[in-house]
C-alpha cells in the first residue's frame, strides 16, 4: 500500500516503514503524530484519489530526528569582471518514519 500526502509544504509518495526528510516540523525527537492530508491512496491497481483529500485516510509518523541538512552553496560570477560571490546555508529538516497507513 502506498499514499501520496502533503507534508511540510511538499508532496511525498510513501509506503509503510519509509523514512523521509521534510521541512522542520514542530515535534520533538521520538514524538508520534498523524496527518489526514492524504491526496491519494493505492494498493496495486486500486487507487483512490481525494478531492482534495481522501475521506477518513490517516498516516501515522514518528519523528526520528531534527537536524540540519547538507550545505547548499550559492555561487554567482560575472565573467571577465572579477565578480564572484559565494554564500551557503543549511536547511533545518526533520527525519520521519511512516508507522502506519490507515484507509
**What b/e readout covers 79-90, taking b as 16+ CB neighbours within 10 angstroms?**
eeeeeeeeeeee
Mean per-residue pLDDT over the chain, rounded:
95
- Domain layout of the chain by residue ranges: 1-66+92-100
**Model confidence at 37, in pLDDT bands (50, 70, 90)?**
very high
**Model confidence at 25, in pLDDT bands (50, 70, 90)?**
very high
State the Cα–Cα distance between residues 34 and 7, nearest whole angstrom.
Answer: 11
Look at residue 6 in the predicted model and tell me its pLDDT: 93
pLDDT of 85 over the 90 cut: yes
**pTM score:** 0.82
Look at residue 15 in the predicted model and tell me its pLDDT: 96
Cβ contacts of residue 102 below 8 Å, gap of 6+? 56, 57, 58, 59, 60
Residue 44 CA to its chain's centroid (Å): 23
Amino acid at each position: 500500500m502506498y499514499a501520496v500526502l502533503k507534508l511540510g509544504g511538499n508532496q511525498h509518495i510513501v509506503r509503510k516503514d519509509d523514512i523521509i526528510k521534510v521541512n522542520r516540523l514542530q515535534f520533538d525527537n521520538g514524538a508520534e503524530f498523524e496527518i489526514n492530508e492524504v491526496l491519494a491512496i493505492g494498493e496495486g491497481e486500486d487507487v483512490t484519489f481525494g478531492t482534495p483529500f481522501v475521506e477518513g485516510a490517516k498516516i501515522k509518523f514518528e519523528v526520528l530526528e531534527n537536524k540540519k541538512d547538507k550545505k547548499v552553496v550559492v555561487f554567482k560570477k560575472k565573467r571577465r569582471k572579477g565578480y564572484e560571490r559565494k554564500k551557503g546555508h543549511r536547511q533545518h529538516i526533520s527525519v520521519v518514519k511512516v508507522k502506519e497507513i490507515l484507509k
